Amino acid sequence: MNDTFRPGTHHPVKHIGRYTLMCALAFLALAPLLWMFLSSLRPTQEMFSYAGSFSWHTIWPETFTLSNYTGLLETGFPRAIGNSLFVAGVTMVIGVLVNAAAAFAFATFQFRFRGPLFLLVLLTAMMPFEAIVLPLYMLVNKLGMIDSYSVLIVPELANGFVILMFRQFFAAIPRELYEAGRIDGASWLRIFFFIALPVSWPVILTGSIMIFITQFEAFFWPLVAAPSAELTVAQVEIAKNISLEGANWGLLFSSMSIVCVIAALPFLVFQRFYIRNVASSGIK
C-alpha cells in the first residue's frame, strides 16, 4: 500500500541534503535582517568594531542597549510611523471598496468599452510608478493637492492588480447568485455589499494586505509630493538617517526593524490566504 511516491522519503540522505540546502538558503535570506535587528540593539561604536576579523561578536552584540530605540523618540520617527499607518490604513479601507466595486462592474455588467477599459486597468498594473510620477505630480499640483494627506492617499486608491484579482473572483461566482438577489428584490448596491463582498473575504484580505504593504513601503511619491515635516512618512524619515556626512546607523537599524515588523505582521497572520489567492488569481 506504500507505493505512493513522495520526494525524498525513500532516500534519507537526499532528504537531509534537501533540508540542509533549504535551511542554508533561508539563512542567507534572513541573515541580513537578523544582523540588522541585532545591530539595532548594540551601541553604534560597537557595530563595526568586530567587522574586520570575523568572530562571534561580528553578529552577536557584546552589550545590549535600547538606546537606539529610545533615541528614535527624539526624532520625527513616531509621527512618521503614525503618518504611514494612517495613510496605509485609509488607503487600504477605501481602496478595497473602490477596487472591489470597479471589479464587480467589470465582472457582472455589460457596458460599452468594457474590454478596452479593462485593458487600461491592466496597463496601470503593469506601468512602473516612476514612469507616471511627473504627469501625476503636475496633475495633483493643478488640483492643489500637493503637501496633504490626500495626495498620499488618493492616487494610490485604484490598484490595477487588486481590481484584476477581485474581477477574477467575482466572475467565478455563479451568476445565479446575483440573479437570485435581483429576484429577491435587492438593488445592485445591496447585492454588492451583502452577497458579493461577504463571500469574497479571502480576496478582501489579500487585496487589503497588498494595498497596505504597498503604501507602507512607499518612498518616492511621498518624498516628492508631501515634503513638509508633519507629513513625512516612515520610509522618508528612515532615509533622513543617511546623509553626505555619514549615516546614523543605530537609528537607521532600529527604525528599519520597527518598519519591517509592522509590514510583516499582517502578512504573517494571513499568509495562508494570501498565498492561496495570489496563486489562484491566474497570474502567477
- Among the listed ranges 43-51, 139-147, 164-172, 179-187, the one in contact with other proteins (CB under 8 A) is 179-187
Could you tell me the three cell numbers for 71? 533615541
3-class DSSP assignment, residue 73: coil
Residue 179 within binding range of other proteins, rule CB under 8 A? yes
DSSP β-bridge partners for residue 242: 247
Rg of the chain's alpha carbons, rounded to an integer? 24
Q: Give the closest residue to 72 by CA, choosing from 205, 207, 276, 250.
A: 250
- Under the binding rule (CB under 8 A), the answer on residue 184 touching other proteins is yes
Minimum distance between the CB of residue 205 and other proteins, rounded to whole angstroms? 15
Q: Is 21 in the site for other proteins (CB under 8 A)?
A: no
Which of 173/224 has CB closer to other proteins?
173
Residue of the chain from 198, 243, 246, 284 that contacts other proteins (CB under 8 A): 198
Using CB under 8 A, pick the residue from 32, 116, 128, 185 that binds other proteins: 185
CA pair distance 264, 33, nearest whole angstrom: 12
Q: Does 180 bind other proteins (CB under 8 A)?
A: yes
Q: Which of 115, 128, 174, 282: binder of other proteins (CB under 8 A)?
A: 174
Give me the least distance between CB of 174 and other proteins, in Å please. Answer: 6
List the beta bridge partners of residue 246: 243
Give the nearer residue to other proteins in terms of CB position, either 179 or 230. Answer: 179
Region of 54-62, 81-89, 152-160, 178-186 interacting with other proteins (CB under 8 A):
178-186
**Cell numbers of 138, please?**
503636475
Beta strands in the chain (DSSP E): 242-243, 246-247
Contact 47, 39 (CB under 8 A): yes
With contacts defined by CB under 8 A, name the span among 50-58, 123-131, 164-172, 193-201 that binds other proteins.
193-201
Under the binding rule (CB under 8 A), the answer on residue 115 touching other proteins is no
Q: Is 190 in the site for other proteins (CB under 8 A)?
A: yes
In whole angstroms, how far apart are CA 190 and each of 34, 47, 122, 178, 202?
48, 58, 27, 10, 20
Residue from 16, 30, 199, 247 in contact with other proteins (CB under 8 A): 199
Which neighbouring-strand residues pair with 247?
Answer: 242
Q: Nearest to residue 78, comparing CAs of 227, 264, 258, 260?
A: 258
8 contacts: CB under 8 Å, gap ≥ 6 = 14, 15, 18
Shortest approach of other proteins to residue 198 CB, angstroms? 4
Size of the site for other proteins (CB under 8 A): 15
Residues that bind other proteins (CB under 8 A): 174, 176-177, 179-186, 190, 195, 198-199
